[in-house]
């Protein structure tokens, strides 16, 4: 079976599984919704919307934790038997690429929905929406590619997977987060594109490095 | 130079003989650079003043940390290609040496920052990068601790070691250059001590200090991995 077909088959399987276990997806959306609502309630104590720097920081914190929760269940909900079964059918490269693609789509949806809810409740101080949304999508891709391999690693360790994932994932994601928050701030302030250009290019390069390393390393992770 | 360092490091760490020559050289270089570094006349620069002597301690610590972490990643790559308990121990012990040197570098840097910039910690990208590197290797140790099966631990932690290094470490060198002005020297161009290297006598102490600290890192790794091998042997019997 060619690699592309393996990937589409696995992707379809992931979507079907997600649809059958709607509770997990609903839980994720509710998580984002309630976090945004709690922030809204806290800021409404001091009259309305937070100042732009706080708005920016809070959005990324919410997205980061939503991403950890969303990706964590990926590899962990599969049993060892299931993994062995896939192992006999497909290449490990197909598994990691399908998983990264699936997580990217999931996180893109979560990020856009999160942004929508967030602007509804906490106001919209964004001055260059195009750059802001592009940066948000880059962030979703980056979170998905980084966290997919980390969730595979945490699943191997067993036990408290989500905590281990946070411990392993956060330090790796700090450089990416710094860049994202910086570009996001530039977009909030409506600065010219040329100011953010080098950071955006670095983000793209970083996503490619992480994707390529995951692709190379995953077969070793899977073998055991 | 980096490649030569990694190969040389592996050779020295795995060396089976006592290695009297390079170890006495290490002692000589470290003691010499420390003594001369404290005694020589240094350029009188505003703000930095006498604390410029920290250059002979702080910077070599970072260089040797990067070097020994590179050695650790290289052992992890070798482990994945050809698994053996030995390579796992070597990767683990090199990473631990890197953590020790990183903490020393943070401590000396923090002290230096207090005297020149007025604060123990500033939101400088380089400082944050150093903190991130320490967090990553802390996570590496936590990951190692959460396995019961030894082979699985070795394989998965090797994967994390490579992944973390590839994803985060290059950025510690790229990010500071993207983020505009900083108090930390070596902001543009080659990271280092551009604004100090007017003085050639300082270089004559600085380079031996760097070599001394790097050799010291390999020595430390050699001793701790020999100890780990002995423990393994003891546990088998």
Answer whether A206 touches B (CB < 8 Å): yes
Asked if B64 and B214 count as a contact pair (C-beta separation under 8 A), the reply is yes
In this predicted structure, the answer to whether residue A81 has a pLDDT above a threshold of 90 is no
A224 to B151: CB separation less than 8 angstroms, yes or no: yes
Answer whether A46 touches B (CB < 8 Å): no
Domain housing B206? 21-236
Distance of alpha carbon B108 from alpha carbon A105, whole angstroms: 45
Asked if A57 and A181 count as a contact pair (C-beta separation under 8 A), the reply is yes
> What's the pLDDT tens digit per position in B144-174?
988 888 888 999 999 999 998 888 777 777 7
Average pLDDT estimate for A115-140: 89
Asked if B143 and B160 count as a contact pair (C-beta separation under 8 A), the reply is yes
Distance of alpha carbon B203 from alpha carbon B41, whole angstroms: 13
Q: Of A11-15, A74-78, A121-125, B206-210, give the lowest mean pLDDT range.
A: A74-78
- How remote is the C-alpha of A77 from its chain's centroid? 17
Q: Which of A161, A172, A173 to probe by mutation at the B interface, max B CB count within 10 Å?
A: A172
The single residue listed with the structure tokens 């590899």 is A75
B11 domain-assigned: no
> What's the pLDDT tens digit per position in B71-124?
999 999 999 999 999 999 999 999 999 999 999 998 988 888 888 888 888 777
Report the residue of chain A nearest B157, measured CA to CA.
A153
A175 to B156: CB separation less than 8 angstroms, yes or no: no
B41 domain-assigned: yes
pLDDT of residue B187: 47
Asked if A127 and A187 count as a contact pair (C-beta separation under 8 A), the reply is yes
Conformation bin of residue A222: beta by default, left when phi > 0, alpha when psi is -120 to 50: alpha
B179: pLDDT confidence band, cut at 50, 70 and 90?
low
Average pLDDT estimate for A50-67: 89
In this predicted structure, the answer to whether residue A74 has a pLDDT above a threshold of 90 is no
> What's the pLDDT tens digit per position in B12-29?
888 888 888 888 898 999
In this predicted structure, the answer to whether residue B33 has a pLDDT above a threshold of 90 is no
What residues of chain B lie within 8 A of the CB of A149, using their CB?
A: 159, 163
Three-class secondary structure of residue A83 per DSSP: helix
pTM (whole model) above 0.90: no
What does the angle CA B181 – CA B120 – CA B221 come to, to the nearest 5 degrees? 95
How many CB atoms are closer than 10 A to CB A117?
A: 18
B79 domain-assigned: yes
Answer whether A201 touches B (CB < 8 Å): no
Average pLDDT, chain A: 87
B74 domain-assigned: yes
B13 domain-assigned: no
Which tokens go with B209?
A: 């200090």
The tally of domains found in chain B comes to: 1
Which tokens go with A186?
A: 């530039």
Distance of alpha carbon B66 from alpha carbon B72, whole angstroms: 10
Distance of alpha carbon B93 from alpha carbon B220, whole angstroms: 9
pLDDT of residue B237: 77
A168 to B139: CB separation less than 8 angstroms, yes or no: yes
Pick the closest to residue A183 from A201, A205, A200, A208 (CA basis): A200
pLDDT of residue A140: 94
B192: pLDDT confidence band, cut at 50, 70 and 90?
very low
CA distances from B228 to A128, B151, B234 (A): 56, 16, 10
User: Rg of chain B's alpha carbons, rounded to an integer?
Assistant: 19
Asked if B215 and B22 count as a contact pair (C-beta separation under 8 A), the reply is yes
B231: pLDDT confidence band, cut at 50, 70 and 90?
very high
In this predicted structure, the answer to whether residue B196 has a pLDDT above a threshold of 70 is no
B132 domain-assigned: yes
B15 domain-assigned: no
Q: What is the DSSP letter of B124?
A: -
B4 domain-assigned: no
Start-to-end Cα distance in chain A: 23
φ, ψ for residue B41 (rounded to 5)? -80, 130
């Amino acid at each position: 079976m060619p690699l592309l077909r393996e990937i589409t088959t696995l992707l379809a399987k992931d979507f079907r599984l997600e649809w059958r276990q709607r509770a997990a997806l609903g839980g994720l959306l509710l998580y984002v919704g309630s976090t945004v609502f709690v922030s809204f309630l806290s800021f409404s104590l001091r009259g309305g919307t937070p100042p732009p720097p706080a708005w920016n920081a809070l959005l990324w914190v919410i997205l980061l934790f939503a991403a950890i929760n969303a990706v964590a269940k990926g590899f962990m909900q599969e049993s060892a038997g299931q993994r062995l079964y896939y192992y006999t059918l497909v290449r490990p490269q197909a598994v990691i690429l399908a998983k990264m693609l699936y997580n990217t789509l999931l996180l893109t949806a979560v990020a856009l929905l999160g942004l929508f809810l967030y602007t509804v409740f906490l106001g919209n101080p964004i001055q260059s929406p195009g750059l802001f949304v592009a940066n948000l999508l880059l962030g979703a891709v980056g979170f998905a590619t980084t966290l997919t391999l980390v969730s595979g690693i945490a699943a191997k360790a067993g036990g408290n997977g989500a905590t281990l994932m946070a411990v392993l994932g956060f330090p790796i994601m700090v450089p990416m987060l710094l860049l994202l928050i910086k570009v996001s701030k530039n977009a909030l302030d409506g600065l010219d594109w040329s100011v953010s250009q080098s950071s955006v290019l670095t983000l793209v390069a970083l996503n490619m490095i992480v994707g390529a390393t995951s692709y190379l390393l995953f077969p070793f992770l899977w073998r055991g | 130079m980096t490649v030569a360092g990694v190969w040389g490091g592996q050779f020295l760490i795995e060396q089976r003989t006592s290695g009297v020559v390079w170890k006495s050289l290490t002692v000589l270089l470290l003691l010499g650079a420390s003594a001369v570094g404290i005694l020589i006349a240094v350029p009188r620069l505003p703000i930095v003043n006498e604390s410029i002597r920290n250059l002979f301690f702080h910077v070599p610590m970072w260089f040797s940390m990067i070097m020994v972490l590179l050695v650790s990643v290289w052992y992890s790559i070798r482990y994945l290609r050809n698994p053996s308990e030995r390579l796992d121990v070597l990767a683990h012990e090199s990473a631990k040496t890197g953590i020790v040197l990183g903490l020393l570098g943070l401590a000396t840097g923090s002290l230096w920052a207090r005297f020149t910039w007025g604060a123990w910690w500033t939101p400088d990208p380089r400082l944050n990068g150093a903190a991130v590197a320490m967090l990553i290797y802390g996570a590496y140790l936590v990951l190692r601790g959460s396995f019961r099966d030894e082979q699985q631990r070795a394989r998965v932690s090797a994967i994390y070691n490579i992944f973390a290094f590839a994803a985060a470490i290059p950025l510690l060198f790229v990010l500071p250059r993207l983020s505009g002005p900083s108090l930390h020297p070596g902001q543009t161009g080659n990271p280092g001590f551009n604004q100090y290297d007017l003085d050639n006598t300082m270089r004559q102490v600085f380079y031996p200090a760097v070599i001394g600290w790097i050799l010291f890192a390999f020595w430390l790794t050699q001793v701790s991995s020999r100890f780990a091998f002995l423990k393994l042997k003891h546990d088998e019997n």
